[in-house]
Chains A and B, each alone.
Chain A
Amino acid sequence: MAAPRTMFEKIWSRHVVAEGAGDMSLLYIDRLLMHDGAVHTFGRLRASGRAVRRPEAIVATADHYVPTAGGEAAGADPAIRAMVDGMARHTGELGIPYFGPGDPRQGIVHVMGPEQGFTVPGITLVCGDSHTATHGAFGCLAFGIGASEVEHVLATSCLWQRKPRAMRIRVDGVRPPGVAAKDVILAVIARISAAGGTGHVIEYAGAAIAAMSMDERMTVCNMSIEAGARAGMVAPDATTYAFLAGRPFAPAGEGWDQALASWQTLPSDAGAAFDTEVALDASALAPTVTWGTSPQEALPITGRVPDPADTADPARRAAIERMLAYMGLAANTPLTAIRIDRVFIGSCTNSRLEDLRAAAEVVRGRRTVVPAWAVPGSGLIKQAAEAEGLDRVFREAGFEWRAPGCSMCIGMNGDTGRPGERVASTSNRNFEGRQGKGVRTHLMSPAMAAAAAVTGRLTDVRALGAAGA
């Protein structure tokens, strides 16, 4: 009998075209997603005189540079606008499907791919963006790559890769009320550190993961890169298949039956060995927020800002001091005493319909006390949310209901905070300057960000009580 294999091993071995010197393999890439940040890559490829080897394996959209104020990007910086326009031109000339501004299918690339059924189990999928890890929620091997690697995939349909190690993170138990998928992944990163997954592919397993919806699994896999892992994965199951059935790019008819038969062989075999194993109990988790400038600096909302004096290691002490200085925080401050200046609900981590519902549930019947934005992940999500009346809930509470895009997660499209502003954000990175020069970011779930919007400080959503109370 063959040795038990991990899901990662099965997918990897199905895609090796050739072995190179050392331990490098030429890996076949089934699908490529592209966004407007890749305009110059198209330019370089075409200047080299090389062809796109498989245009049919690509879908493109615009997200990074798209202004989310609505309207036709009026008033946008011409250099930013040129990125979006360039994407339309290149994809048009190369025959690549492109969902640009005005197309309801336009959206954040990691929202659009799954929504269109382009992301499916068992494949290799890459994109020039580190949050490509998101797509692993469907049981595929999906990872972010740099611009030269994107050019390489365009020209050859392959990548030279060193085989990563396999890590399994089991999350068992039942999440208590108020604890979201975002809290699970923030707790994972705090536990293994921002470098804990380096060189690994993470498979998330256990009862708490199996119980998650696809939107929730995507939130978890999305932030694998924040733990250092280029890819995160969840075994496909009935939840996955129900999500995919009938989506525009998903296999259909006889193809669906063939796909299902193949996908059902993917989950890790019993007894498969992982290089690293980690276990977490979901029932012990609380709503979690970050206080520092790395996603690993996350604590339960009931906690306090760390005191560097409590740390013996001088390097760690210096790191905490620098983070407190940037974040404008005093040691030992209760997290719930931290006042915020703005709220951002959106990003490839938390801009899907369930995220918007969770946030709307908290703000319904309440009023924001700071500027707050809700930015849906795609035009289709925006439409679906509006059909449920969520836009009205947000607007009546004082939120701005904006057009889809990466917006304030990346701060390269005009959507940024002002220096010194403190943002309660559902995005994935709290790095220095990530949301604008000098901006201070606290990461949290959509419900927690919504709670912060109505109180003006970091707030335990579980303690908020009923609206109007």
Chain B
Amino acid sequence: MEPFTALTATAVPFDAVNIDTDRIIPARFLHRQRGPEYAGLLFHDVRFDEDGRERADFILNQPAFRDARILVAADNFGCGSSREHAVWALAAYGIRAVIAPSFGDIFFNNCFKVGVLPVVVAPETAAALRRRLHAMPGAAVTVDLESQTVTGPDGARIPFTVDPFRREGLLSGKDEIALTLGHEAAIAAFERRHADEEPWLRITRPS
């Protein structure tokens, strides 16, 4: 996983609430292996028309926002399906941080596995930031995970917090499975105790 420390880049405002992961990447693409071509699948059906041409009214197609690497959203961003492909598409496009008042729980967890930072801020803070970005199209925002601050285009600093465990994971880009396998002794001990306490849990395969 690519580590995330800090990023200063164009931020794009998404005003709609409840942006679901079907919108971020339609289901018909999910059989594809993860790869760079996921950049072209991001928001596919709202970004391109029937003939595959860019829709001029979609915000990422507007010149000021084409190079956005930070997305500022409204409530419940990434709700719905558990497809990690939604985060793969964001990352492949270059979006490495999403700022919103709330996220779909599964999407939120998936972000940390892919190296995308979800930043939770107050609803009014996100709304003010989106207004600012509409007023100053193409303005840059800084997201700093080490100091846990967002710096808006006007220099205003917005503090945020990320769980220390996940923060460390993103900063280091460490392989989480390797980390967990380091707990193997504890897992095995738990397993023995669990099996003693709940012997019925043993799965006997039906013949």
Binding site for B on A (CB under 8 A): 14-15, 17-18, 20-24, 26, 28, 30-31, 37, 40, 48, 50, 56-57, 65, 79-80, 82-83, 97, 116, 118, 122-123, 128-130, 144-149, 151-152, 155-158, 160, 162, 164, 194-195, 198-199, 225-226, 228-230, 248-249, 251-252, 255-256, 258-259, 262, 294, 296, 315, 318-319, 322, 410-412, 429, 431-434, 437
B180 touches A152 (CB 8 A): yes
A-B CB contact pairs (8 Å), 25 listed: A14-B197, A18-B183, A21-B164, A24-B163, A24-B165, A26-B180, A28-B194, A50-B177, A57-B203, A79-B32, A116-B206, A129-B81, A146-B84, A155-B177, A156-B187, A157-B191, A158-B180, A160-B180, A198-B103, A228-B79, A228-B105, A259-B200, A429-B22, A431-B80, A434-B22
Query: Bound state CA distance, A158 and B205, in angstroms?
Result: 22
Distance to closest chain A CB from B31 (angstroms): 5
Asked if B82 and A145 sit within 8 Å, CB to CB, the answer is yes
- Known interface pairs A146-B109, A437-B45; A194-B76 also in contact (CB < 8 Å): yes
**B51: Cβ under 8 A from any A Cβ:** no
Give which listed residue, B79, B85, B190, contacts A194 with CB less than 8 A.
B79
Q: How far is the CB of B37 from chain A (nearest CB, A)?
A: 14
**Chain B residue, CB-CB nearest to A154:** B177
* Given A149-B113, A152-B177, A249-B206, A21 contacting B183 (CB threshold 8 A): no
Contact call A411/B27, Cβ cutoff below 8 A: yes
Our pick among A130, A252, A319 for the contact of B80 (Cβ within 8 Å) is: A130
Q: Which residues of A contact B106 (CB under 8 A)?
A: 130, 144-146, 225, 230
| A116 surroundings in chain B (CB, below 8 A) | 206
On whether A146 and B165 interact (CB within 8 A), knowing A82-B31, A97-B205, A255-B200, the answer reads no
Chain B stretch 46-96: residues in CB contact (< 8 A) with chain A: 46, 74-76, 79-85, 87
Docked-complex contact B30 and A155, CB < 8 angstroms:
no
Q: Cβ of B104 < 8 Å from any Cβ of A?
A: yes
Residues in A whose Cβ lies below 8 Å from that of B34: 40
User: CB within 8 A of A160: which of B74, B85, B176?
Assistant: B176
Q: A156-B180, A195-B18, A431-B23 are in contact. Are A17 and B165 (CB under 8 A)?
A: no
| B residues 123-161 touching A (CB-CB < 8 Å) | none
Instruction: Report Cα–Cα, A65/B43, bound state, in Å.
Output: 22
Q: Which residue of A lies closest to B163 (CB)?
A: A22
Contact: B45 with A433, CB < 8 Å?
yes
Take A30-B201, A145-B82, A148-B84 as given contacts and tell me if A40 and B33 are in contact as well, using a CB distance cutoff of 8 Å. yes
